[in-house]
Amino acid sequence: MASITVGEIDVLVHKKNIKNMHLYVLPPDGVIRVSVPVAVADDTIRLFVISKIGWIKKQREKFKNQARQSAREYIDGESVYVWGKRYRLMIRHGSKKNKVEIKGDRLYLYVREKSTVAQREKALNEWYRNLLKAAVPTLIETWQDKVDVKIESWAVKNMKTRWGSCNIVAKRIWVNLQLVKKPLPCLEYVIVHELTHLLEKSHNEVFVAYMDQFMPEWRMRKNTLNEYILDYVDGQELT
């Protein structure tokens, strides 16, 4: 991936086989990335970025002011989230098998006494993954019928810059593991978004019209998703 400078802004440039230019502001530090058709000249890219300076500044300010989770230590008292609800993490030792239990406003993670931070993270993420995998099938089945598309497969992946992705050729959807920490309607929005890409690849007027048809309140759900405390989150996109 190449880079160019526009004024005082460094811009990552990803050239690929697409028709339109897309601009992203990526968390947590507001890195700018553009995806452009292979033949587009650097001067054209610069003009495109300049035309979006106001939007770029707005997104960077949003990231700057948005709460972020500190580095995880996986110790008693840390905040963890499940479907948008906050819990206090409590570590318990002595269990032969890792497990998670929720009691009231506390989430208990049972691990071996000498477990490392990495091992505790893995144990919690495995529980998160199973929870998400249990929620996704019903949503996909429901919305495939409404959108009138059919995917071949789906999977969960811990992604840093996308809430979801869709391989149109393979008809495969990836769902970000971090969505299990957000309200369930946010997961539903992402699934509808990715299914809609099987009808329209780009985030153009046709795509927006489909989203308005299938889920009229999708913008509200997207805003809710972006307002939640940052962990791994999707970059803001402008097409």
What is the arrangement of strands in the sheet containing 106-111, beginning at the earlier edge strand? Answer: 79-82, 85-93, 106-111, 99-103
Residue 238 dihedral angles phi and psi, to the nearest 5°: -130, 130
Per-residue pLDDT 10s for the chain (239 aa) are 788 988 888 899 988 888 889 998 886 668 899 999 999 999 999 999 999 999 998 888 876 666 555 567 888 999 999 999 999 999 999 767 899 999 999 999 999 988 999 999 999 999 999 999 999 999 999 999 999 999 999 999 988 778 899 999 999 999 999 999 999 999 999 999 999 999 998 888 999 999 999 999 999 999 888 776 556 444 434 33
Q: How far apart are CA 92 and CA 123, in angstroms?
A: 13
- Look at residue 233 and give its three-state secondary structure: coil
**What percent of the chain is helix, strand and coil (3-state, nearest 5)?**
40, 30, 35
Q: How many other CB atoms are there within 10 angstroms of residue 51's CB atom?
A: 10
- Look at residue 215 and give its three-state secondary structure: coil
Count the helices and strands in the chain (H runs, E runs): 6, 12
Q: How far apart are CA 199 and CA 218, in angstroms?
A: 17
Domain spans, the chain = 2-62, 116-238
Q: For 116-238, which CATH class?
A: alpha beta
- Look at residue 34 and give its three-state secondary structure: strand
Q: How many other CB atoms are there within 10 angstroms of residue 115's CB atom?
A: 19
